[in-house]
Structure formats: structure tokens, C-alpha cells
Amino acid sequence: MSLSLDATQLDRYSRHVILDDVGPEGQKRLLDARVLVVGAGGLGAPAIQYLAAAGVGTLGIVDDDVVERSNLQRQVIHGDGDVGRTKVDSAADFVADLNPDVDVERHELRLDASNARELIAAHDVVVDCSDNFATRYVVNDAARIEGVPVSHGAIYKFEGQVTTLSPEGPCYRCLFPEPPEPGTVPDCASTGVLGVLPGTVGCLQATEAVKLLIGAGEPLVGRMLFYDAMDLSFETVPYARNPDCPVCGDDGIDTIDGIDYAAGCQIDAA
């Protein structure tokens, strides 16, 4: 951990430093923390923005996509001049301009079973901003094996959901044992999404990540927060660990080798 905050950092993070639940020690934890953000799109953009502003010292950003003009309605760290650039490069430039304290590690790739454990093990918290079930399952499974907490978020049209998957609590497969049938959950390219929605949900994910890093508050472990933007309502629904869960249950897995995430993410019973 860094020994002290310099004068510039004391000024930059002064509103953190004066908070009883953060203070200089909490800010030092943030500066020494490593957070992996999976996806630099709708959810990843606000998460990256606020984690960088908070002074998270190292942000690993995973994305294999390029910026398209249709992204700009909601992916607020990218601008018109970034169209055609890789999202990791655009995100890294945004972070560098926002906060020079933050180092960005660019991973221009798709997170999958071949690289997930190594990437996740090198970080303190994962913020899962992915937009597909295969990636969500591999993040969950690899993070559980590596003992790394995950701040999960998802959006659909006007609705969002957030939960936190801690190594001691229920996992994503306790909530959703199996993914929906292919084609039954359309993406935002075919159904649309309210532009401000991922801003709300991504900020909630960043909030959970910061709380985990400084050890303050009550994370959404074993609780799913549902948000409806149309009537501006929030509902929290508890859920429990499933003792028969193939990942976090009594006979949970210790490797993700051999799991075909592209073909339904099924884990065969032992």
C-alpha cells in the first residue's frame, strides 16, 4: 500500500478523505487496487468513468470491439472522433485525460474459458459489464474458483439489474442455473435501449466495486436489485446459495477446462 497521499491527491480526493467511511486509508486502498472491467460499452463506460474518477489505481479493460456511431447514444466515454477505434484504446485515452493516477491495462480480446482465470486472478474485483450469457457464466465460474468478487449488471430496454457475487455468497448460477434458449433474449441492436439506462446501472456497479475495495457498507450479496426506468422504481429480491449449484455448491468445480460456454454453458454433473 502507498505510504501517503501527496498534495495533489489530497486535493483531488478531498471529498473522499473527509468521509468517515473512506478517509485517507480508504483512498490508499483504491489507489492500490486492481479492478477488471469486462466490456467497455454501455455498462462499462460509466463504470470505467467513475472508477477512474475515484482513483482506482489499475483498471484492466477487456473488450474486442471497435467504437461505432450507434454506440455513442449511451457509451459516454467514447466520442464521435473515436468511431472506428478499438474501445480499449478509446477508453484508455479517456481515463488518461480524466485521472493520471490511474493505469489502464488494455486487453483487446474476448474473455473466454482460455484466458478468464488468468485475467481475473490478477485483480481484486471484477465488474462484469458484458452483454451475453456465455461471458457472464465464464466470469462467474472463473471468479468463483479464483476467489474474486464480481459486480454484475445487465440491462434490457428500460430495465436493469445489479447484484454482487462474493466468494462466500451465492453465485450467478444460483440465480440462473441455465441460460435462456438461444434467440429468446434479443440484444439492444434489435430491441433498442434507453440511452441513460446503462448510466444508472453502470454507476451502481461501480458503487458496489468501490464498497468492496474500501470494505464499507453492505454489498448486494444474495440480493438482486431490479431497476425500472419508466416508473423510476427499485426493488430488491433476496436469493440464496444453492447447495446443488455445480459451481459454488458442495461439490463445486475447481476448473473451467472442458466447459463449452459457446454451447449453452452446461456443467455436467460429477
Could you tell me the domains of the chain?
A: 33-263 (3.40.50.720)
Which set of grid coordinates corresponds to residue 164? Answer: 454482487
User: What pLDDT sits at residue 181?
Assistant: 74
The model's confidence at residue 184, banded by pLDDT at 50, 70 and 90, is low
Which set of grid coordinates corresponds to residue 259? Answer: 466447459
Neighbour-count burial for 217-235, b at 16+ CB within 10 Å, e otherwise: eebbbbbbbebebeeeeee
Residue 198 has pLDDT above 80, yes or no: yes
Q: What is the pLDDT of residues 81-105, one digit of tens each?
A: 999 999 999 999 999 999 999 999 9
Alpha-carbon Rg for the chain, nearest whole angstrom, is 18
Percentage of the chain exceeding pLDDT 70 = 96
The model's confidence at residue 269, banded by pLDDT at 50, 70 and 90, is very low
Q: How far is CA 64 from CA 43, 83, 111, in A?
A: 15, 14, 9
Q: Is 265 a catalytic residue?
A: no
User: What pLDDT sits at residue 268?
Assistant: 60
Q: What is the pLDDT of residues 212-245, one digit of tens each?
A: 999 999 999 999 999 999 999 999 999 999 999 9
Q: Across residues 19-44, what is the average pLDDT? A: 98
Mean pLDDT of the chain: 94
- Nearest to residue 61, comparing CAs of 82, 90, 83, 33? 90
Task: Phi first, then psi: give them for residue 52, nearest 5 degrees.
Answer: -65, -45
Residue 21 has pLDDT above 90, yes or no: yes
Catalytic residue among 188, 245, 248, 265: 188
Q: Across residues 28-43, what is the average pLDDT? A: 98
Report helix, strand or coil for 237.
strand
User: What pLDDT sits at residue 3?
Assistant: 54
* Cα first-last separation, the chain: 42
The model's confidence at residue 75, banded by pLDDT at 50, 70 and 90, is very high
- Choice among 27-36, 50-59, 80-89, 178-187 with the minimum mean pLDDT: 178-187
Residue 134 has pLDDT above 80, yes or no: yes
Residue 178 has pLDDT above 70, yes or no: yes
**Rounded Cα distance, 21 and 24, in Å:** 10
Residue 190 has pLDDT above 90, yes or no: no
User: What pLDDT sits at residue 258?
Assistant: 85
User: What pLDDT sits at residue 113?
Assistant: 95
Neighbour-count burial for 22-61, b at 16+ CB within 10 Å, e otherwise: beeebbbbbbebbbbbbbbbbbbbbbbbbbbebbbbbbbb
User: What pLDDT sits at residue 234?
Assistant: 98
